[in-house]
Amino acid sequence: MSRSAGLPVALTLVSVLLAGVGLAGCAAGPSVDRANAAEATADIGAEHLRRGDNDRARTAFKRALSYDDDNFTANWGMAVISDRTNAVHSAQRYFEHALAVRDVPAVYNSYAAFLCRHDQPERGIEMFRRALASDNAVDRADTLANAGLCLARANKRKRAADYFRRALEANADQTTALTQMAKIAYHERDYMRARAFTERADSATPLAPDQLRLAARIEKALGDPAAASAYMTRYDDAVSAAPRSSSELEQARP
């Protein structure tokens, strides 16, 4: 995961929802028949969710919860749908319920990303920490990088840098950490260091448009107009399909 504008978690949510369906029952909960009905219906909801049909997925998940309100997959699925449709309070309630049913690192990650997007960075960091503390933690480098991104967007640059460094210790090619460290170094006017992080990121995976623009600004600050121009050519190629006004084009230049 890596470098998207959002806070992507380390795996596809819907895939994990589908994988978790068979575990949704609870021995101390509803009858076996109702638990099985909830699992089967939640499975249908997860398939609809995978296809992007939020309405049918919501209907299936709600039906599953009518059989068993502690069904893990249905609660997580409803959290995802609520998040997609900007029903913030409902999403938070379903995330909390899913985690009360089962302690799953992937849910902590997706809930953390949700909290960070909705101006709750400290609570989001707490969820990332819980994901990292799990014996079955998903990709640690991605989780650490996302925690850093959460803090960076809350203007907590020093703490963010610590998470990015830890992400790079876990995976030297973690692109989010590399590009964010480049941005931090640029703002600190440590342009050589910013260049080094950018070049490492570009070697790992092609840079996104905003990263290409930053790379051009770094090269301009270092007095290398040819390198800056090369990055801007790549930037223009990357965004050429999107129509932009002349003022937007001017603002895009380093």
pLDDT tens-digit readout, 163-203: 999 999 999 999 999 999 999 999 999 999 999 999 999 99
pLDDT tens-digit readout, 103-138: 899 999 999 999 999 999 999 999 999 999 987 767
Range with the poorest average pLDDT among 5-9, 32-36, 151-155: 5-9
Let me know if the fold of 8-99 is the same as that of 103-171.
yes
**Structural domain spans, the chain:** 8-99, 103-171, 191-254
User: How far apart are the C-alpha atoms of 7 and 21, rounded to whole Å?
Assistant: 25
Q: Predicted confidence band at 3 (pLDDT cuts at 50, 70, 90)?
A: very low
User: How far apart are the C-alpha atoms of 177 and 139, rounded to whole Å?
Assistant: 14
What CATH topology corresponds to 8-99? 1.25.40
**Which residues, at least 6 apart from 14, have a Cβ–Cβ distance to it below 8 Å?**
46, 49, 50, 80
User: CA of 254: how far to CAs of 80, 160, 210, 242, in Å?
Assistant: 38, 25, 11, 19
**Threshold 0.85, pTM exceeds:** no
Phi/psi zone of residue 21: left (φ > 0), alpha (ψ -120 to 50 degrees), beta? alpha
- For residue 125, give the 3-state DSSP assignment: helix
Report pLDDT for 134.
Answer: 84
Residue 151 pLDDT greater than 70, yes or no: yes
Tokens 């989001």 belong to residue: 124
DSSP type of residue 242 = S
Determine the CATH number of domain 103-171: 1.25.40.10
